[in-house]
Each structure stands twice: as structure tokens, then as C-alpha cells.
Structure 1
Amino acid sequence: MRETRANFDVHSDFDVHCYAESWPLKTAFVISRGARTEARVVVVEVSADGVTGVGECTPYPRYGESVESVLAEISSVLPALRRGLTREQLQQALPAGAARNALDCALADWEWRKSGAAHSGPDWLPTVQTLVIADPDSMSEAARAAARRGVTVLKLKLDRQLVLERVAAVRAAAPDCQLVIDANEAWDGEGLPALCQALAEHGVAMLEQPLPAGEDALLADFPHPLPICADESCHTRADLPHLAGRYDMLNIKLDKTGGLCEAQALAEAAAAQGFEVMLGCMLCTSRAVRAAWPLGQFARFVDLDGPTWLAQDVEPLRFEGGRVYWT
């Protein structure tokens, strides 16, 4: 793990330390947009009264973010934090995104630790295991190995090539696993209804973000033989009016919502409007998974396997048998 650190002494009540870390991966994480070999995260620590709260975010270039831009955003609100910025006020002080998420989660963690409250969520959550893009034989082997470990839901990263061949190979290798597919915006509308039907016939339980965000009107023009989930198309409650009739499910990630405040509000609004929920994460350490934990019990699918890709984790949670355990 490589670390760069920039400390900000904010005020006599709160000291804030903000720094970037790079965590090498065990193997390359390959999706339709390319491959990654490390997780680059930004960590915020807020300390007062002998208590420290920690938040983590993963800047995402797809949304115009970098480690440098996130550090600059966080720095921009430190004077307001000195004046007593609350979590509620933070929602207006910064836009939804990684920077606000790290601050919101750090403040929420501080409040929880300061209160002395015991952990009140479930002791474990089910989690999918991601299979990255590879040739069908390699994906088949990865699926078989995951099934042997007790994983029950596999998430296949796919591009536009060999879609059905890869799905068939994984299905044959792990016949008892549920399959979900994430195209990360890589598909287009040509033949999409027929492809969705074929995926449903292979027993695929859900398809995530097949079309680019902003180009998904086609999803309203044909019946969905399997649920379709919005990821890149859904960040906050402001996106909900555009998703009705196109998507059946929403992937909620704290790095998109800008923290737990908006994530919880989005989950409630989504349920009220008839959407199912998937809880997701970026490539991250166990710190980020702990922050998202309160939402897990309300999600149909939980996708919190980000730390399993790291060569080394920090304060690691235990991932075993298709579950992640609070430790």
C-alpha cells in the first residue's frame, strides 16, 4: 500500500486528516472500460473529544473524479467544518460524489463512536462475487472456484463480445449459482430485446446498466424478460423521474450518492416508487463496506466484494461462503 498524506488541522474541536492510498490488487480487475491493477482511495479522519471517525471514498474517472480533485473538494469545505458544518448542511455544501461521501461517512462514524452505541445491524450480509471479463474458459474456471467456496451469486462483467458464450460457460460451471450481469454501459440498442430474452432463458437473474447513461430510453420500449438495474444512470433521488419505466432496480453506491444520508433517502424513495435495490461498492477497503452496511438488509442483491480484490486490506472484514461478516 502506498500513501500520500495532507493534514488539515481544522479547529480545536475537530482535527481533520485527509490522505490518499493506493492498494494493489491480487489480479487485474477487467471491465468493459478497461483494466485496473490498484484501488486508489481517499480517506478522511475527523477527531474530537478523543474520538476519531473514518470515511473512505474511491474517486471514479467515469464521473470526472480523480484523487487530486477529491482532495481539493474536501479542502474547500474545511472552513465551513470549522464553523460547525453538520452532515445535513454538507449535503448542500458539496455535490453528490466521492468527496462528500468520505466526509459524510467520517462524520457519521464519529457520531456513532462518540455515542458508544453497539453495532446494531446484521452480523453478516450475503454478497455477490464478481467475475471480470476474460475468455469463456477462464470465466468458467473462476465461477467453478467461487462456487466451491460457497458463493451463491455471481456477477459477470461483460463487454459486447461473446456475451452468450461467456454466460453459458459460467452457467455450466456453476449451475446452482444465481447469475447477474453488468455491462457497464458497453452495449447498444441493436438486438437488445432478443439478447435480454436469451439471457432470461439462461436463468440470468438481473442485467445491470446495458446502455450508456443518457442513452437508455430504449429500455422503456420493450417488456423486460429479466429485471434491469440502473447503475451509472442513478446517483441520487434527482435521477428517479428519468428511471421509471426503464429500470426495475437501482444500484446504490455511497460514492455516487455522496454518502449515507442521500443513500438512505434514495433507498426509501426507490422503494416507495416500486424499485428494488442493489447495494454496491467500488474497489475499496473494508472501511467503505462498513459504512454501507446499514443499507444491506434492505437490498435484494448485495455487491460488497470490493475488498476481496485487494492484495492487502485494512481492518479486514471476513468474506467466506458468499457472505461478509461484521468483525
Structure 2
Amino acid sequence: MSSKANALQNVASVDDFLNVAATETVPLFEYLSFEFLLEYDVFAPCKRGRTRVHEPPELFRGFLHCYYEDVYGTRPVARELQKPLVWLSCGFDRPPSRDAVDRFLTDLEHVVDDVFDHLVEQAAVRGLLDSTYRIDSTHVEAIPWNDDASWNYDSTAEEHYYGFGCTIVSSGAKIPIAAEFTPAKQAPEETAMRVTRDALAVEHPVWMLGDSAYDTLDWHDRLLEAGVVPIAPYNPRNTDDPLDIEYRVEDRIEKHSEDVQLKRSLLDETYNRRTQVERTNDAVKDCGLGPVRARGRVHARAQVFLALCLRVVVAITNDERGDNPGREILTS
């Protein structure tokens, strides 16, 4: 039995995780499941006038349970939720149909960014973030029959893959705090700027780290204006007269500030922390970031953000239990 299965092998631990039992985390997820989702009118009547039958809080708990148990895709999720132990623990009066599962995932995509942002706010309130943000892009593999995916090249792995991409900013104990679903791993500068803006809306860190792909003037100047020190390796590209610097911020500080000086040794030491974002990516992948077993872009994007939500849920739950929020599983 896997470590995840061990963590959820009895009713009590399932109830704890899904916040059905009377634990200290119930108020947070009652608010998220009932008040927050319904506030955005996710479950409006369909165009024909028929009321769409949904159980949003129960289905949200159900998807969290399934993704935690490595169960993805509407058919497998619907089958998992047919198990009496599971649907009772999630608060259903009866097991949901596959159509209900499919509709919920479709509707959730419209507000899943807000759900994720709300969870990140809760992590920030609990002091789970640190003074260093890290930004990186990762590949998201898709099933071969997802016609909205495409073949892309992953320069890190030096191989092609079929799927999408995701740009993530992380902080603290492997906690994603901002993200964007993209057609490919290599995201345009506009995406980097948008995700950076979203990350700064959570809290302002001291440092923000990125690889050489983030060696752009706009990214550096936006962060410096916000009082954040950006560190990305200098990429001379095709210039005939490269600067004598290791990091772009050295040149930006020299040109725009007479009072600030940064030692290269400090920049080197801080940049070495960037590898934490790779551990965050791996932790989110373990929560369902990939491969994405969903058809179409809408369900693929919903699965990606549900995986991000689940990673934050696990971190918050572990912290409230007195465990290390960086743990990727829940103790029973």
C-alpha cells in the first residue's frame, strides 16, 4: 500500500483530510466550499432553463480526495466516488453521477483561479511563505487524444512532449502562490509579468529568483520598482559587447541607484535557493499537475489548478496539525 493510501486507510483520516469531521480546519474549508464558490455563481442554471443539479462542496472535497489518491479524469473520479466510504466521507447523500462530475469540473474552471488565490491567502495568513519567491515554468503532459494540446520542446529535459505548460511562483515550504496555465512550457514574457504581478499581490518578498529566461529589462524594473530584488543570470544572447556581470540586476542597480550596492557573493548565495521551485513543481505534479488525463483545454486547466489547490491544502493541513507544511502527505 502506498504512503498516500496508508494516510487515508480509515474513515477518520479521510474525514480529517476532507474537513468533514470536527477538526480545527473545518471553518476554513466550509467557507471555501460553500460561501466562496457560491459567491461566484459557479452553478448557474443552464441556457435551457433547467436547474443544474450540483453539490459543489461535496464535489470539491471529492476531487481533492481523488487527486490525493492519484485518481484523475472524470470517469475514474466518478468510479472512485461510487465507493460508499468515499462518498459518505465527502458528505454526499448518494454517489454523484459521471455527468455531475463532468459538469462540476467544467464550471469550476471559471473560478478555480479565485479558489486557488483564496487558499494562498490562507497560507500567507498562517505565515507559511518566506522572503524569497521563485519563478519557473514546467511542462504538463497530456493524454494523446487531447486535441487542444500540442507537441512542444522541453529544453531542460532536451526532449519533445505532448501537452501544455504551467508557470509557477513558489515560496515557503514548496507552496505555489501564483500560476498560469500556458500552451507550452516556454511561456512569453507577458505571462511572466502577469504571474509576477499576481505573486506580488500576495505579499512583497525581499528576493525573486528566476533562471536566464527571466533576464528581461521589464521584469527586473517592475520588481525593483516594487522594492524587490530580482536575481536572474545574465544572458548575453547575440550581443557583440556583453556586459561584465553575472546577474542583470547588477547593471540595473548601477544605472538607477547611487545608494544601493549588492555583493556578487550575496547574489550567488541567494540564487542557489532557486532549486526549491523545482521541488515545488515535483510536489504539485504529485498532486495531479501531470500527466493531465483530461480532454480539451478547459478540463486540463481545471485539473492543473486543482493540483495547485491540493498542494496548498496539504501544506495548510499539515501546519495546523503541527506537522511540517513541506510534507507531501498527510499523517493519519
* TM-score calculated relative to the size of structure 1: 0.25
Question: Greater Rg, structure 1 or structure 2?
Answer: 2
More strand by proportion, 1 or 2?
A: 1
* TM-score calculated relative to the size of structure 2: 0.25
